[in-house]
Amino acid sequence: MANVTPETPKLQTPRLLLRRWHKQDREPFHRMNADPHVMEFFPACLTPQESDGLIDRIEAHMERHGFGFYAAELRETGEFIGFVGMAWTPFEAHFTPCVEIGWRLGSAYWNRGLATEGARECLRHGFEALELAEVVAMTVGANVRSRRVMEKLGMTCRPADTFEHPHVPAGHVLRQHVLYRIVNERVVREKE
């Protein structure tokens, strides 16, 4: 991958600031990750310690790669609302190595187009500045909200890409995941 900068730049949309994580984000992130509604499609809610560990891993990824899952803040009020961003997929599968795009917002902020707005800006950055050739997204089939975001971004899903998520225990109802992809047409054209 070309043009990766060790500095993670802030990204902005009309309503969102996507930025590095602050100490003050930890407490609202604890509450989000303890909410069964937010965590419906994950094997379990997170303890505060697990939630902090996730922030630490996200920040380490940003330090190393110059991009990651950004803390998302409402520009109008400065409220932390969750995360939107991209990361290298941390396991091996038929579609890796690859960069995935992902999102998790507090439920008070759902259905206002915020995840899509933030993700669109991340994709633009990923394609234009990071020159990624392809970005994927994954979720369980029943997560229609997240799948809708993927569709609104122009990502497509092939049944042949459905896979067993290695971080979910075998036999678990949430183990099977669908995969969405979007290709960077410019990079593909230049390679031809």
Piece in contact with ligand COA (CB under 6 A), picked from 2-10, 15-23, 112-120, 153-161: 112-120
E strands, the chain, are 11-12, 16-19, 69-74, 80-88, 99-105, 134-140, 156-157, 163-164, 176-183
User: How far, in Å, CA of 54 to CA of 50, rounded?
Assistant: 6
- Tokens standing for 143? 């997560």
Return phi, psi of residue 22, to 5°: -105, 160
Exactly one of 11, 16, 18, 38 binds ligand COA (CB under 6 A); that residue is 38
Residues 39-78 touching ligand COA, rule: CB under 6 A, are: 41
Q: 41 or 134, CB closer to ligand COA?
A: 41
Q: Is 21 in the site for ligand COA (CB under 6 A)?
A: no
Q: 5 or 166, CB closer to ligand COA?
A: 166
Residue with tokens 């975001």: 149
Q: 8 or 106, CB closer to ligand COA?
A: 106
Q: Which amino acid is at 175?
A: R
Q: 63 or 90, CB closer to ligand COA?
A: 90
User: How far, in Å, CA of 183 to CA of 185, rounded?
Assistant: 6
Q: Is 104 in the site for ligand COA (CB under 6 A)?
A: yes
Query: Min. distance of Cβ 32 from ligand COA in angstroms?
Result: 8
